[in-house]
Amino acid sequence: MSTILFLVILGGCIIMLFALQAPQRRSQAQADSADQHLQQAGSHFLRNELDQAYAHFQSALHLARQAGAVLYEAEAFYGMAGVAEKKGDFAGALAHMKAAQALKPQLQSYKPNFTSLIDRRVEELEKLV
């Protein structure tokens, strides 16, 4: 009797463990997908395929938000700003950079150089608008 009870409890613990890990795996998969979209966007951007680049940056942003990957979110905004700037839309570029800048409190502790770069780009774009 106690062996059966032990097996039932052990089985319940294993099921609970899988259930608790599922969101983490999904979140990591979304972050990985966001990273892949960022890489694809960068490739399109370098080839001056701006519409494709922007679409990948948007996809990366969506996935990064779902995964809670703030760095990828900021990188997506930065890339979208680059696309807007290349198209001559300085106001749009500034809006994207300010969205990236809004993430500064979450990034400052582990990516201070990136936040400084964001601040500098905001200042440059403000002069163009």
If you average pLDDT over residues 100-115, what whole number do you get?
90
Domain segments of the chain: what residues?
28-128
Question: Using CA atoms in the order 62, 76, 84, 104, what is the torsion angle rounded to 10 degrees?
Answer: 110
In this prediction the pTM is: 0.80
Tokens of residue 99, six digits: 């969205």
Reported as a single tens digit per residue, the pLDDT across 3-53 is 665 555 655 545 554 544 444 556 888 999 999 999 999 999 999 999 999
Question: Which has more pLDDT, 24 or 98?
Answer: 98
pLDDT at 59: 97
Architecture of domain 28-128: Alpha Horseshoe (1.25)
